[in-house]
Amino acid sequence: SLAKVVATRRLLPISQKRLEQQTQWDLVQWQEDRTIPREKLLKDIKGAEALLCMLSDNIDEEILEAAGPQLKLVTTLSVGVDHIDLKTAKERNIKIGYTPDVLTDATADIGALLALAAARNMKKGIDSVTTGGWQDWRPAWLCGHQFTSKTLGVVGLGRIGQAVAHRLGAFGIDRLVYWGRTKKEGVNGEWVSLDQLLMESDIVVVCCPLTPETQEMFDYAAFKKMKKNAVFVNISRGGIVNQADLARALKEKVIAGAGLDVTTPEPLPLDDPLQNLDNCVILPHLGTATFETRETMGDMMVDNILAALENRPIPYESK
Ligand code: GLV
Ligand code: GLV
């Protein structure tokens, strides 16, 4: 009998078609345009050899166990794999597929966009246009902070972090400092301690993965170390930030502003303290959201599943 492949969402048209047209598997795919209910996934995954999931699915031990011992691959439409129980997957010899590289440019674009938006009061500006707050031209109104000759601090200088630094370099940034586990060779930036990065950066952009070590590493004490004119940008995962502390720091003007593409939880509740802050620009996790990138991510999923079912090495494997 054919192998069972379970998908928790439909993909974009071209990669969806490829997923559907394979004759070597039976596809069981959630068709509604909302996250698959947990009970449904627990049922569907029984007997699956491969699972195609999203970053919004919580792939924990219970889900992996419900699949049964034949599950070979969990492949996620994201570069982040923090929503998957990696320890259990390893114990059960389940490979993890993901989508590195292809999404670097799209995600870095959103990082640069949020840095500029936060530094130049984009939220206050747009709000003033739509609510009548825009009355006349004033010399000091909505003045923000310029990037020329400033210092950028990147937390996690991987592919995405380097692409953000490259983009912001075009806006006149003249110094790059970064913090991470390893010093990067061939990078025009200084590997510094986290404290030094916080104290010296005018723009702090977080691009590192969410792990037990980085969980809530940005708390009130961290924001206190930053410059008063600094902007904080997070394009990684909401879990890196203690959100109540960020809201407090923004409210007290401990830092100038924030730009977030990720929050805890997602979607961010309407009554969350961050919602009412005019110095906090928030996007609904749009990092990889371009047609080009999302189609290619979908193709990578299909390639991963084909390889897993044919017992070949997974082309896009997170190890
Ligand atoms: C997006 O957040 C991703 O991990 O791909
Ligand atoms: C993270 O995965 C990166 O590509 O920077």
Distance (angstroms) between ligand 1 centre and the Cα of 79 equals: 5
Rounded-to-integer distance, Cα 218 and Cα 239, Å: 9
Asked if residue 314 belongs to a domain, the reply is: no
Convert the pLDDT of each residue in 59-102 to its tens digit: 999 999 999 999 999 999 999 999 999 999 999 999 999 999 99
Structurally, how many domains does the chain consist of?
2
Same domain, 126 and 200: yes
DSSP string, 244-264: HHHHHHHHTTSSSEEEES--S
Mutate to test the pocket of ligand 1, among 52, 105, 107 (most ligand atoms within 8 A of CB): 107
The answer to whether 136 and 261 have CB atoms below 8 angstroms apart is: no
pLDDT of amino acid 84: 98
Share the mean pLDDT of the chain.
97
Same domain, 35 and 123: no
Rounded-to-integer distance, Cα 94 and Cα 84, Å: 11
Average pLDDT on 264-274 reads: 98
Same domain, 116 and 259: yes
Mutate to test the pocket of ligand 1, among 78, 210, 235 (most ligand atoms within 8 A of CB): 78
| Chain mean position to CA 175 | 25
Q: Dihedrals φ, ψ of 125, to 5°?
A: -65, -50
Distance (angstroms) between ligand 2 centre and the Cα of 15 equals: 23
Instruction: Please choose, from the candidates 295, 316, 314, 237, the residue with its C-alpha nearest in 3D space to the C-alpha of residue 106.
Output: 295
Asked if residue 146 belongs to a domain, the reply is: yes
Same domain, 95 and 153: no
Same domain, 135 and 238: yes
Average pLDDT on 2-31 reads: 97
Distance (angstroms) between ligand 2 centre and the Cα of 283 equals: 19
**CATH number of the domain within which 155 lies:** 3.40.50.720
Asked if residue 319 belongs to a domain, the reply is: no
Close Cβ partners of 177 (under 8 Å, ≥ 6 residues apart): 151, 152, 153, 154, 189, 190, 191, 192, 196, 197, 200, 201
Same domain, 300 and 181: no
The answer to whether 207 and 154 have CB atoms below 8 angstroms apart is: yes
Close Cβ partners of 21 (under 8 Å, ≥ 6 residues apart): none
Asked if residue 317 belongs to a domain, the reply is: no
Average pLDDT on 25-29 reads: 98
Mutate to test the pocket of ligand 2, among 159, 237, 316 (most ligand atoms within 8 A of CB): 159
Rounded-to-integer distance, Cα 63 and Cα 71, Å: 11
What domain range is 140 assigned to?
Answer: 104-282
Distance (angstroms) between ligand 2 centre and the Cα of 234 equals: 13
Is the CB of 79 within 6 Å of ligand 1? yes
Convert the pLDDT of each residue in 140-192 to its tens digit: 999 999 999 999 999 999 999 999 999 999 999 999 999 999 999 999 999 99
Average pLDDT on 222-235 reads: 98
Is the CB of 207 within 6 Å of ligand 2? yes
Convert the pLDDT of each residue in 278-295 to its tens digit: 999 999 999 999 999 999
Residue 29, pLDDT above cutoff 90 = yes
Ligand at minimal distance from the CA of 240 is 1
Give the residue, by CA position, lying nearest to ligand 1 atom 5: 78
Rounded-to-integer distance, Cα 105 and Cα 48, Å: 33
Same domain, 112 and 246: yes
Same domain, 272 and 199: yes
Asked if residue 113 belongs to a domain, the reply is: yes
Amino acid identity, position 190: E
Residues labelled catalytic: 285
pLDDT of amino acid 300: 98
* Strand pairing category for 50-53 and 3-7: parallel
Is the CB of 208 within 6 Å of ligand 1? no
Same domain, 116 and 245: yes
Residue 1, pLDDT above cutoff 90 = no
What CA–CA distances, in Å, run from 260 to 91, 238, 280? 35, 8, 8
Asked if residue 315 belongs to a domain, the reply is: no
Same domain, 239 and 108: yes
pLDDT of amino acid 170: 98
Asked if residue 90 belongs to a domain, the reply is: yes
Asked if residue 29 belongs to a domain, the reply is: yes
Same domain, 123 and 265: yes
Close Cβ partners of 222 (under 8 Å, ≥ 6 residues apart): 194, 198
Same domain, 233 and 206: yes
Residue 264, pLDDT above cutoff 90 = yes
Q: Which two tokens stand for residue 251?
A: 């409210």
